[in-house]
Amino acid sequence: MKNVPFKGIIAYPITPFDENEKIDIPLFKHLVERLILSGNHGIAPLGSTGVMPYLSDEEKEAVTEATIQQVEGRIPTLVGVSNLTTEKTIHHARFAEKAGADAVMIIPMSYWKLTDDEIVAHYDAVAQKISIPIMAYNNPATSGVDMSPALLKRLLEIPNVTMIKESSGDVQRMHYLRRELGEDVAFYNGSNPLALAAFSAGARGWCTAAPNLIPELNIKLYQAVETGDLEKAKDIFYQQFDLLKFIVNKGLPRAIKAGLSIIGENGGNLRSPLKPLQEAETEELKKIITTLIN
Amino acid sequence: MKNVPFKGIIAYPITPFDENEKIDIPLFKHLVERLILSGNHGIAPLGSTGVMPYLSDEEKEAVTEATIQQVEGRIPTLVGVSNLTTEKTIHHARFAEKAGADAVMIIPMSYWKLTDDEIVAHYDAVAQKISIPIMAYNNPATSGVDMSPALLKRLLEIPNVTMIKESSGDVQRMHYLRRELGEDVAFYNGSNPLALAAFSAGARGWCTAAPNLIPELNIKLYQAVETGDLEKAKDIFYQQFDLLKFIVNKGLPRAIKAGLSIIGENGGNLRSPLKPLQEAETEELKKIITTLIN
Amino acid sequence: MKNVPFKGIIAYPITPFDENEKIDIPLFKHLVERLILSGNHGIAPLGSTGVMPYLSDEEKEAVTEATIQQVEGRIPTLVGVSNLTTEKTIHHARFAEKAGADAVMIIPMSYWKLTDDEIVAHYDAVAQKISIPIMAYNNPATSGVDMSPALLKRLLEIPNVTMIKESSGDVQRMHYLRRELGEDVAFYNGSNPLALAAFSAGARGWCTAAPNLIPELNIKLYQAVETGDLEKAKDIFYQQFDLLKFIVNKGLPRAIKAGLSIIGENGGNLRSPLKPLQEAETEELKKIITTLIN
Amino acid sequence: MKNVPFKGIIAYPITPFDENEKIDIPLFKHLVERLILSGNHGIAPLGSTGVMPYLSDEEKEAVTEATIQQVEGRIPTLVGVSNLTTEKTIHHARFAEKAGADAVMIIPMSYWKLTDDEIVAHYDAVAQKISIPIMAYNNPATSGVDMSPALLKRLLEIPNVTMIKESSGDVQRMHYLRRELGEDVAFYNGSNPLALAAFSAGARGWCTAAPNLIPELNIKLYQAVETGDLEKAKDIFYQQFDLLKFIVNKGLPRAIKAGLSIIGENGGNLRSPLKPLQEAETEELKKIITTLIN
């Protein structure tokens, strides 16, 4: 049977920087610990939230190791290892496996739009070099390539490609996935404002940066869905909708960092060219969070 | 309180033509009767399914009268009265009211993209001339204009604009609507493949041509949602997903007519330039329907 | 050889209404006369500029007859006869021919997206009933269907479909057309801001409402292109670019009517739901026109 | 006065790899030499064609140095130094300047969509660290951010941002640029199939990989435009249109490499995940090239 280590809320930590724009590893570990203690079901460093593409190879390795050390096996870890070249993707995937990751996430980054055959060969080459499972990630907005259900089906024929994360923002894609790939396909939602629709459609989990700010609401939504209580799920979803919308619209690293400050946590600095939210934006976020907490 | 006469499954009949491409009113009445007997909660002639834009003024009036006569008040009726000019829209809205319709549906048809002010003035001019409620219908793909939640809010300030039908195909729009317009907003889903997601988001009803072919499944989905049973709703939705997808992709009038033949009913002819489905398409539909029935 | 009666600047009159929103035929004739006297090479009533879709059958016939009477054969006439149904399109095409039009323009209006076969059958049915040439018009934004070069090639096989008007707004489509259909294909540009690019690509004419306001500049651009003088063409194009951009952005009927007032001409009223430009918009247009005239 | 070192045809070399996917520097120098000898007016290593994003820092530096050495000042060099982080962009820009580049090209790469202020700060930070001119490059399809004419205007206020390369694929953008930024703005076309339209609109140069295969046709098009001969420009453009379309559709590195083989030149290997063209695609290219040469 397929190895599918994730279910529920998979939390994405940000990568905090110090005043010189170097990664602040102790602060990172603290942020990871918060995500574990608040009850999330998985943790995923080096995602978009963690500004993985802005990091050097050495930095990615340091973040990977820091995560595994801090988690200490309490919840499963999903490490982002995507890279434009196949060689580098293999390098990072092997590093993650050796460091102790439970799975890796790979999006087919593509400066030059890749053909279906190139994408299959890319995943296949990586899969052959590791034995932990791979989550194939579809997000046309960031990768520049839209993997069709038919292509995802081909990828799932590779033994250790066992999971799909879908972030195209169109819930109908999840319906197609399930029809095309069967009821047992392990697909995960990566589009925050679609959380309710995706769970209703059968998503096994929700990959999200929101638990940095509102873990209880995220987890409660999952629990309501698990018990099949649609009314409750709807209520909890609408409570958090404004926040989900906000963090997506403003960019996750900027918005999560601002939100951490608002709730009294240190989120560190951003790396240029990313800049903090404008003051008016921060005020808007403050209002949303205040409403949620009271 | 606002007059909101619809809830549940609102069925859209096709308009059947004879061999000379004239409307076959007796057959139309028979198709309406089927929709009533199969338990739908409302009926909506002169929608896209009913090829309203392809009919002359006299034909629209004949269809309106035939519907009211056949329904005899058993379920509420929603008559499409949209037109490019304000004057004609008023004409058809008044006719529908006089004929006994419970409400009218109006989409802001726009050859020339309308401004928000023009759209508000258009609805307002019609609303002042009738006393039955209006469902404002957003479908950028057919109207050429996308009404924002902010604009819809303005429309709902007109006393007898009481309902919104949303067919932009993006479930997030329904989330925005509910956040922007309040929990009590009466919004309806017009995008078939979004039926589950829309009901999960709080849609009060589903405007659909599918009950011409699979009324039990459509109604069961609504009932599962009403009882808050997410698992059951999901199962029933996925059973009908292929059919919903098919009828949308092939065009509702063509697909419904072909489906009626498959289940042994007469759907009449289409009006040119619309042509029947190709044979291979009909075979595909036959397979989908056979699976559903057995 | 193919009958191709148009070359150069084909001017589109607006349809003026009186205070009761009825067509003002004497004023229409005056506006047509202006377009003839200012030296345009063809005239095209009942286009988008002439709000054809907002008119009744009788009104379309009156406009057709008024045009032919006023033109008196001084320049060729191209009458818009598009309709959602094939039957009505035939009706108007025959009327135009009988009234003395030199050609008809047909866009495949499509509430329900038409298949290629349906479109070919539609044009073919009309073509068989008239003997004057047909200009096939591609404008996905208003018709809802994008005719590929391959489909246009099929249409050109119908003997009296002899011209193509392309308004998709992408100059590359004109390159594809010429490559696919041969150097002799008679294609016309319907996208005002592309006037220079389209002529550079080999367009035989420019279908435009701009001559209602700036006929000399429109005609001079054509003449510069005809003499192969790229520098001059570029200069003249950039002189009129702001005006072309403005009238397209604001909607041709609204913008032309406002522009006529500015230059001291009467453009009549619009038909609801269309409303006049806002005051600030009119001021902007006044500035653009003043710059052009001085 | 602004320092604008480019005009005419700016040729983009590919980066060739050996059988181990390491850069083949001697072959690269040979390919650069071909571009110089065939009469191009500028050379631009480390562009998209040169798969810059797939290279390590060391590889980028080696390619930069190899170019400058080979060119020996015969034509001006434009080195791509774009990077996701500001720090790395500065690093590569300084390296290019020190190595002897005449200018650098910078696209605002953005995994996280950048705000206008972030983009200005990014360019400004780089500009302060170098004294050679910068070409700001707009290509929403690869950078994920579309720089408006208003934003480009802000960038041009930075003293050594002196040139704009526009690759959005919409010739109207060039019209807007020239209207917004004035007649003297130095803008360059980066969209191959728009070569004629862009030159007609006033583009000062054409950034293109096509001279690897058909330098004479590219240069002749520029010369026809320079002499203002529109007919000749049109003829020469249509001659090369199929090739331009092909190399863009198939991806420049793949297509140029295949084309080099066809004309008897060695283009080396690609770096994974990029794979060679399929056989049928190569055949199609062979036909296009054969037609051009004979």
Q: What does the mean pLDDT of chain C come to?
A: 95
Mean pLDDT of C254-264: 98
Q: What is the pLDDT of residues A42-99, one digit of tens each?
A: 999 999 999 999 999 999 999 999 999 999 999 999 999 999 999 999 999 999 999 9
Cα separation, D165 vs D146, in Å, equals 12
* Domains of chain B: total: 1
Do B35 and B163 contact (CB within 8 A), yes or no? Answer: no
Q: Is the pLDDT of residue C179 over 90?
A: no
Residue A1 counted as domain residue:
no
Cα separation, A122 vs B170, in Å, equals 32
Q: What is the pLDDT of residues D270-280, one digit of tens each?
A: 999 999 999 99
> Among the options D12, D123, D137, D188, which is catalytic?
D137
Residue C69 counted as domain residue:
yes
Cβ under 8 Å to C: B residues 18-47? 21
Q: Is the pLDDT of residue B294 over 70?
A: no
Q: Which domain holds residue D62?
A: 8-236
B144 has a chain C CB within 8 A of its CB: yes
The pLDDT of residue B180: 84
Give the Cα-Cα-Cα angle D202, D241, D29 (nearest 5 degrees).
85
CA distance to partner chain B, nearest, from residue A82 (Å) = 29
The pLDDT of residue A69: 98
D2, D31, D41: which is closest to D135 by C-alpha? Answer: D2
- Chains near A with 3+ CB pairs less than 8 A apart are B, D
The pLDDT of residue C294: 65
- State the DSSP string of chain C: -------EEEE-----B-TTS-B-HHHHHHHHHHHHHTT-SEE--SSTTTTGGGS-HHHHHHHHHHHHHHHTTSS-BEEE---SSHHHHHHHHHHHHHHT-SEEEE----SSPPPHHHHHHHHHHHHTT--S-EEEEE-HHHHS----HHHHHHHHTSTTEEEEEE-SS-HHHHHHHHHHH-TT--EEE--GGGHHHHHHTT-SEEEESGGGT-HHHHHHHHHHHHTTBHHHHHHHHHHHHHHHHHHHHH-HHHHHHHHHHHTT----BPPTT--PPPHHHHHHHHHHHHHHH-
> Among the options C12, C60, C123, C137, which is catalytic?
C137
> Among the options B12, B60, B123, B165, which is catalytic?
B165
Residue C84 to residue B54, Cβ atoms within 8 A: yes
CATH number at residue D65: 3.20.20.70
Residue B194 to residue A202, Cβ atoms within 8 A: no
Q: Is the pLDDT of residue A16 over 80?
A: yes
For chain B, the straight-line distance linking the first and the last C-alpha, in angstroms and rounded, comes to: 45
Burial class of residue A4 (count of CB atoms within 10 Å of its CB; 0-12, 13-18, 19+)? middle
The pLDDT of residue B1: 57
A259 has a chain D CB within 8 A of its CB: no
Q: Is the pLDDT of residue A209 over 70?
A: yes
The pLDDT of residue C32: 98
Residue A121 to residue D84, Cβ atoms within 8 A: no
Which one of B111, B124, B151, B278 would you mutate to disrupt binding with C, by most C Cβ within 10 Å of its Cβ? B111
The pLDDT of residue D157: 95
The question of whether B165 is a catalytic residue gets the answer: yes
Residue A171 to residue B171, Cβ atoms within 8 A: yes
CA distances from D49 to A84, C1, D10, D211 (A): 15, 46, 12, 12
Please report the sign of the dihedral spanned by the C-alpha atoms of residue D31, residue D36, residue D39, residue D43. positive
Q: What is the pLDDT of residues B40-99, one digit of tens each?
A: 999 999 999 999 999 999 999 999 999 999 999 999 999 999 999 999 999 999 999 999
Residues of D in contact with C197 (CB under 8 A): 171, 197, 200-201
* β-sheet bridge partners, residue C78: C103
Residues of D in contact with C228 (CB under 8 A): 229-231
Minimum-distance CB partner of D251 among A112, A141, A253 = A112
For chain C, the straight-line distance linking the first and the last C-alpha, in angstroms and rounded, comes to: 45
Instruction: Print pLDDT tens along chain D (294 aa).
Output: 579 999 999 999 999 999 999 999 999 999 999 999 999 999 999 999 999 999 999 999 999 999 999 999 999 999 999 999 999 999 999 999 999 999 999 999 888 889 999 999 999 999 999 999 999 999 998 888 899 999 999 999 999 999 999 999 889 889 988 888 887 889 999 999 999 999 999 999 999 999 999 999 999 999 999 999 999 999 999 999 999 999 999 999 999 999 999 999 999 999 999 999 999 999 999 999 999 876
Residues of B in contact with C275 (CB under 8 A): 115, 117-118, 121
Which tokens is A85 given? 């070249």
Residue A116 counted as domain residue:
yes
Residue C59 counted as domain residue:
yes
Do A111 and A75 contact (CB within 8 A), yes or no? Answer: no
Residue C231 counted as domain residue:
yes
**A/B interface, count of CB pairs below 8 Å:** 64
Residue A273 to residue D113, Cβ atoms within 8 A: no
Cβ under 8 Å to A: B residues 156-195? 169-172, 175, 178-179, 183, 193-194
Strands B134-138 and B161-166: parallel
Nearest chain D residue to C236, by CA: D201
Nearest chain C residue to B275, by CA: C118
The pLDDT of residue B179: 85
The question of whether D165 is a catalytic residue gets the answer: yes
Mean pLDDT of B254-261: 98
Nearest chain B residue to A236, by CA: B201
Which one of C272, C275, C281 would you mutate to disrupt binding with B, by most B Cβ within 10 Å of its Cβ? C272
Residue B179 to residue A231, Cβ atoms within 8 A: no
Strands A103-106 and B103-106: unpaired
Residue D122 counted as domain residue:
yes
Q: What is the pLDDT of residues B219-253, one digit of tens each?
A: 999 999 999 999 999 999 999 999 999 999 999 99
Mean pLDDT of A232-248: 96
A182, A236, A180, A161: which is closest to A206 by C-alpha? Answer: A236
Residue A112 to residue D48, Cβ atoms within 8 A: yes
> Among the options C165, C220, C250, C257, which is catalytic?
C165
Which one of C181, C230, C231, C246 would you mutate to disrupt binding with D, by most D Cβ within 10 Å of its Cβ? C230
Minimum-distance CB partner of A179 among B178, B228, B242 = B242
Which pTM does this prediction carry?
0.93
The pLDDT of residue B9: 98
Residue D172 counted as domain residue:
yes
Residue D271 to residue A108, Cβ atoms within 8 A: no
Do C139 and C112 contact (CB within 8 A), yes or no? Answer: no
Q: Is the pLDDT of residue C1 over 60?
A: no
Cα separation, A29 vs A55, in Å, equals 17
Minimum-distance CB partner of B84 among C54, C119, C253 = C54
The proportion of chain C whose per-residue pLDDT surpasses 70, expressed as a percent, equals 99
Minimum-distance CB partner of D179 among C169, C233, C242 = C242
Which tokens is D186 given? 């130095």
ipTM over 0.85: yes
Residue C225 to residue D230, Cβ atoms within 8 A: yes
Binding-site annotation, residues of A for pyruvate: 49
The pLDDT of residue A268: 98
Residue D111 counted as domain residue:
yes
The proportion of chain B whose per-residue pLDDT surpasses 90, expressed as a percent, equals 88
- What type of residue sits at position C121? A
CA distance to partner chain B, nearest, from residue C233 (Å) = 30
